[in-house]
Amino acid sequence: MKNFSCRLISALLLTFVHIYSQNVLPPRYSFMQANYINTVFINNGIYNYDWWTFTTKDAGFIWPVTSSQRMTADYTTGIYILAKVNGQLRAAGSYYSSHFTGGFIPVPGEVPPVTVCMDSAFKVYLVSVTDQSLVNGGTRTVTAGGRQYTLNFTSWAGWPVNQGAPYYEVNNIPGYQPGWNSDRPNIGNGSSAKPDQLLFTVYMDYTNCTNNLHQAEIGLPGGTLPTGAEIQQIAFAFSCYPLQNMYFIKYRIINKSSMNWDSTYIGLINDADIGAGSCGAVDDAGGCDSVRNMSFVYNADNSDCNYGVNPPALGSRMLQSPIRFTGNPLDTAKLPYGIYIGYKLIGMTSSFTFKCGYPCLCEPNDAEEAYYVMRGLNTCGNPYINPVTGLPTKFVYSGNSCSRTGWIDSVPGDRKYLMNSGPFSMAALDTQIVVFSLMISRDGSDNFDNVCKLQTISDSALKYYYNDFQTCIPIGIQPISTEVPDRFMLYQNYPNPFNPVTKIKFDIPSLVRRGAGVVVLKIYDIIGREISVLINEELKPGTYEVEWPAENYPSGVYFYKLQTNNFTDTKKMVIIK
């Protein structure tokens, strides 16, 4: 358990704030475990924070689930929404506690009646769209970190379309008619993706259906009236190899007030602790990748009291940011579900790594401090200076944490990050969609190399998202011939030598024996260390080509090895930078 004074104060405040009347329901929750991650989602905008398993709240992001010991890498995660309304700041957020309450806003511009906050239908809905036996709902018992958890699956017929939950139209009959060969729950915007597990919940920032000032506390941007935001949140995960160590969060944010939001910012705040307890939290470091729209935390040294040697790195990538209308026909926002001319993706506009114990560097205590940080300042409202360049920056620790160049976090401590996007405007009833992936990796050779691997799998997350998650074959693998080869073949990569990307081509013949189609393609360095797994999937017969991006690897000789139950071959390639 984390025994820091800030969390103790927050817990005491939370106890005071969440004294519910007999008519207002407490928060509802659901666990999700579709791959190597077990975590929990609450219908108030908080996730990765377990309020139910223990007598005191604790970190809820368990990874890997296959470990006999409960190991966690994330304590809590939430969302910030801040905007100016008629020149006055409005703010709402979730983190250790929340301003949000489960429910929607029935009448735009009006505070929801208390019947919304006492309606048990506003909960967290979990479905599986890949297991036919769960079409009518059911339970599954899973094991994570040596502890059993019960997953309660909603029937497809119970999917809350009336609350805004999206579905995929299959039978071409207007309306939602769920069935295995008919309409099904979905991630929205016309996607045909089939995640193994899918969650939906809706919440709004009229806390407990009141229009009172939001509570201000550590990490919670209070002190203002509600924004009138309604958030329809979807979380989903896949079990296939390329996506086994990540899940996705999609926010559909609606301005349900009767007023315009100006100078609006949206942020994801995360207390990522690599390892549980006080020993696991105090030896971390933070950073960001402004090109990838990504923030992360990793162990500052190569040993963790929980994870041991080679501890993982964890981070979030903004796959889809808010869009801003520019009116310029040369601006184009390319989204998975459409191309919008005259609009521009804003991207991640600031990233802040919090370091409590230093002036102006701890989490914000109120809306004003949060608004400073979301605009790229510290909590005192002053610019952050990059000590390497001597220039102001909105991206804290933006150096290469993997290669240890530029401005990096060099003093271990308890780290949290807030990644932001803005400013933009939202008129009443306007909608913005923001999508994040949350990922963890231990595929590297040490704590720093795991940051490299985290960046690489974040690239896969982005490509999968923009490819509508059409296949669990790793993105970059392309069948390049319809003819079935008569024998295995691994070709020489091209170009070779290369910088930074090369292509590897191979043939898979017709296979009869069951299971013989599992193909593994790995990359090794000059001393034989495995540094990347490009493929670990069952492939149909054919000729394939896969790209290997090597921007995070130094010049030198490398080897790639293709292996199946019937065939093994290895070839050499060279990176020259």
Predicted TM-score (pTM) of the model is: 0.82
Q: Which two tokens stand for residue 362?
A: 């701890």
Residue 291 has pLDDT above 60, yes or no: yes
pLDDT of residue 531: 82
Specify the 3-state DSSP secondary structure of 162: helix
CB atoms within 10 A of CB 318: 28
Q: Say which residues have a Cβ less than 8 Å from residue 277's Cβ, sequence separation at least 6.
A: 1, 2, 305, 306
Q: Is residue 522 part of a domain?
A: yes
The DSSP annotation for 547-563 comes to: EEE-TTS-SEEEEEEEE
Distance (Å) of CA 33 to CA 166, 282, 550: 21, 28, 31
How far is residue 484's CA from residue 509's CA, in Å, rounded to a whole number? 6
Last residue of a domain, one of 466, 488, 512: 466
pLDDT of residue 17: 42
H or E segment and range at residue 50 = strand 49-50
Q: What is the largest CA-CA distance in the chain?
A: 72
Could you give the angle at the alpha carbon of 30 between the alpha carbons of 294 and 127, nearest 5°? Answer: 90
Q: What's the residue count for the chain?
A: 577
How far is residue 137's CA from residue 410's CA, in Å, rounded to a whole number? 49
Half-sphere exposure of 49 (CA within 13 A, CB side): 26
Is the separation of the CB atoms in 142 and 151 below 8 Å? yes
Half-sphere exposure of 55 (CA within 13 A, CB side): 0
Pick 240 or 272 by higher pLDDT: 272
Distance (Å) of CA 495 to CA 474, 492, 501: 21, 9, 8
Dihedral (C-alpha) 97, 99, 104, 106: value to the nearest 10 degrees?
160
Same domain, yes or no, for 440 and 518?
Answer: no
Same domain, yes or no, for 181 and 249?
Answer: yes
Q: What is the mean pLDDT of residues 374-402?
A: 96
H or E segment and range at residue 14 = helix 5-17
Last residue of a domain, one of 442, 466, 490: 466
- Which CATH number characterizes residue 542's domain? 2.60.40.1930
Q: Is residue 181 part of a domain?
A: yes
pLDDT one-digit tens code per residue, 207-241? 999 999 999 998 999 999 999 999 999 999 998 87
Q: Say which residues have a Cβ less than 8 Å from residue 104's Cβ, sequence separation at least 6.
A: 112, 116, 122, 163, 164, 202, 204, 230, 256
pLDDT of residue 29: 97
How far is residue 268's CA from residue 14's CA, in Å, rounded to a whole number? 20
Residue type, position 445, single letter: S
Same domain, yes or no, for 545 and 445?
Answer: no
How far is residue 147's CA from residue 205's CA, in Å, rounded to a whole number? 34
Helix segments in 100-149, DSSP class H: 114-117
pLDDT of residue 476: 59
pLDDT one-digit tens code per residue, 422-476? 999 999 999 999 999 999 999 899 999 999 999 999 998 998 999 888 766 555 5
> Chain centroid to CA 282: how far?
23
Is the separation of the CB atoms in 279 and 285 below 8 Å? no
pLDDT one-digit tens code per residue, 292-304? 999 999 999 999 9
pLDDT of residue 141: 95
How far is residue 311's CA from residue 257's CA, in Å, rounded to a whole number? 45
For 483, counting Cβ atoms within 10 Å of its Cβ (0-12 exposed, 13-18 middle, 19+ buried), the class is exposed
Is the separation of the CB atoms in 48 and 258 below 8 Å? no
Q: Is residue 15 part of a domain?
A: no
Same domain, yes or no, for 63 and 171?
Answer: yes
Residue 420 has pLDDT above 80, yes or no: yes
Q: What is the mean pLDDT of residues 401-419?
A: 95
pLDDT of residue 3: 42
How far is residue 322's CA from residue 268's CA, in Å, rounded to a whole number? 13
Q: Round the CA-based radius of gyration of the chain to a whole number and report it.
A: 24
Q: Is residue 363 part of a domain?
A: yes
pLDDT one-digit tens code per residue, 111-123? 999 999 999 999 9
Residue type, position 435, single letter: V
Same domain, yes or no, for 86 and 172?
Answer: yes
Q: Is residue 9 part of a domain?
A: no
Look at the alpha carbons of 126, 78, 86, 116 in this order and tell me if their dihedral is positive or negative.
positive
> Chain centroid to CA 456: how far?
14
Same domain, yes or no, for 262 and 164?
Answer: yes
How far is residue 87's CA from residue 149's CA, in Å, rounded to a whole number? 47
How many domains does the chain contain in total? 2
Q: Is residue 13 part of a domain?
A: no
pLDDT of residue 270: 98
Q: What is the mean pLDDT of residues 331-348?
A: 94
Q: Which two tokens stand for residue 395?
A: 């991206």
pLDDT of residue 97: 96
Residue 519 has pLDDT above 90, yes or no: no
Q: What is the mean pLDDT of residues 533-550?
A: 82
Last residue of a domain, one of 399, 433, 466: 466
Residue 477 has pLDDT above 70, yes or no: no
How far is residue 101's CA from residue 250's CA, in Å, rounded to a whole number? 18
Look at the alpha carbons of 389, 394, 399, 400 in this order and tell me if their dihedral is positive or negative.
negative
How far is residue 458's CA from residue 366's CA, in Å, rounded to a whole number? 32
pLDDT one-digit tens code per residue, 79-108? 999 999 999 999 999 999 999 999 999 999
**pLDDT, mean over the chain:** 91
Same domain, yes or no, for 453 and 521?
Answer: no
Same domain, yes or no, for 151 and 249?
Answer: yes
pLDDT of residue 517: 59
pLDDT band at 376 (very low <50, low <70, confident <90, very high): very high
Same domain, yes or no, for 426 and 545?
Answer: no
- Containing domain of residue 277, as a range? 29-466
Q: Which residues make beta-bridge pairs with 424?
A: 264
Same domain, yes or no, for 358 and 292?
Answer: yes
Specify the 3-state DSSP secondary structure of 242: helix
Q: Is residue 99 part of a domain?
A: yes
Q: What is the mean pLDDT of residues 281-306?
A: 95
Q: Is residue 1 part of a domain?
A: no
Same domain, yes or no, for 101 and 177?
Answer: yes
Same domain, yes or no, for 420 and 546?
Answer: no
Whose CA is closest to 208, among 102, 308, 322? Answer: 102
